[in-house]
């Protein structure tokens, strides 16, 4: 019941905002037409429309270059923090009784898919997918947890290398 009431409240707020905004726009349009004329208001409105349309259709890479704001490293940093939190929450349970492990493994796999999706089309995807060389241990009786721990450590290491490399170029 509360969610329906919240929807009604949001709908009423939207109607009020639309009404107030349209009245204000109509009043401003009337004042500008009286002072400037139809041609000037039409040219200004057309220019504003073209500008907003250009902002909407500008590709992401061009927008980043124009605005000088690259969110790629920040997005990867957030994903790295999520991965580190997943690593911290690893349920260290024996293979015979993997309580809560399937849910954690599903969250981890979803995280890795999001990391891959963010790196899609970038030169760094191969870096993420290549294995990290090093000595990894596996505890007997805890094979699933050991494998996920080692794999997640590798992925987090590669992701941190990518973040460092991107930060070094900026």
125 within 8 A of 163, measured Cβ to Cβ: no
**Model pTM?**
0.58
Residue 107 scores a pLDDT above 90: yes
Q: Mean pLDDT throughout 57-80?
A: 78
CA-to-CA distance for 110 and 33, rounded, in angstroms? 55
More confident residue, 5 or 115: 115
**Which has the closest alpha carbon to 88: 164, 45, 148?**
148
25 is written with which tokens?
């726009």
Residue 132 scores a pLDDT above 80: no
Q: Is the dihedral of CA 4, 10, 11, 16 positive or negative?
A: positive
85 is written with which tokens?
């939190």
| Contacts with 145 (C-beta within 8 Å, 6 or more apart), sequence order | 90, 91, 92, 93, 95, 101, 139
Q: Where are the domains of the chain?
A: 2-57, 72-169
At 111, the pLDDT band (50, 70, 90 cuts) reads very high
């Amino acid at each position: 019941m509360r969610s329906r009431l919240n929807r009604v409240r949001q709908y009423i707020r939207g109607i009020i905002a639309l009404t107030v905004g349209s009245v204000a726009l109509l009043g401003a349009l009337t004042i500008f037409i009286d002072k400037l004329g139809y041609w000037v208001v039409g040219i200004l409105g057309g220019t504003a429309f073209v500008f907003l349309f250009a902002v909407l259709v500008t590709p992401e890479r061009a927008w980043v270059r124009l605005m000088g704001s690259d969110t790629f490293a920040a997005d990867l940093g957030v994903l790295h923090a999520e991965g580190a939190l997943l690593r911290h929450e690893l349920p260290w349970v024996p293979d015979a009784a993997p309580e809560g492990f399937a849910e954690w493994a599903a969250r981890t796999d979803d995280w890795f898919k999001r990391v891959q999706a963010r790196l899609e089309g970038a030169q760094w995807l191969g870096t993420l997918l290549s294995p990290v060389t090093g000595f990894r241990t596996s505890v007997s009786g805890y094979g699933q947890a050991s494998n996920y721990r080692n794999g997640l450590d590798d992925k987090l290491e590669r992701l941190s290398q990518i973040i460092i490399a991107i930060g070094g170029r900026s």
